[in-house]
Amino acid sequence: KAGVTQTPRYLIKTRGQQVTLSCSPISGHRSVSWYQQTPGQGLQFLFEYFSETQRNKGNFPGRFSGRQFSNSRSEMNVSTLELGDSALYLCASSLDRAVYEQYFGPGTRLTVT
């Protein structure tokens, strides 16, 4: 069974631009969560989608948004990029509403210059 895939793996953007990251969960998984990982703040929960609905949200500004499609694939979008948005963005999928059985993708490394 294929694991969680994230595209692209690396991305360089300029301040003020916007970016879209993609996550394909493990086949059959309906819950997708997004995390931001930085050296200073560690791993922080962004949001979780289940059956195309955002079910939980972390403490991030509205510039961070996401969505989930009917095939459970998810995208997250960051608008008006800031230098502090440089991070590894991790996606995790789980089978159903219970997120404790999460499987993580390799992440997308975003660099904002």
Partner 1 sequence: AQSVTQLDSQVPVFEEAPVELRCNYSSSVSVYLFWYVQYPNQGLQLLLKYLSGSTLVKGINGFEAEFNKSQTSFHLRKPSVHISDTAEYFCAVSDSNFNKFYFGSGTKLNVKP
Cβ neighbours around 106 below 10 Å, total: 13
Place of tokens 């997004």: 34
- Contact criterion met (CB below 8 Å) for 35 and 45: yes
Q: Is 33 in the site for partner 1 (CB under 8 A)?
A: yes
- 1, 42, 70, 83: which one contacts partner 1 (CB under 8 A)? 42
Per CB under 8 A, the list member of 22, 60, 86, 104 interacting with partner 1 is: 104
Specify the residue, 60 or 103, whose C-beta has the smaller distance to partner 1. 103
DSSP string, 90-105: EEEEESSS-TTS-EE-
**Residues shown for the chain:** 113
Q: Which of 7, 16, 17, 43 binds partner 1 (CB under 8 A)?
A: 43
Are the C-beta atoms of 72 and 95 separated by less than 8 Å?
Answer: no
> Which of 55, 65, 73, 86 forms a contact with partner 1 (CB under 8 A)?
55
Which residues would be at the binding site for partner 1 (CB under 8 A)? 4, 33, 35, 42-45, 48, 55-56, 58, 90, 92, 97-107
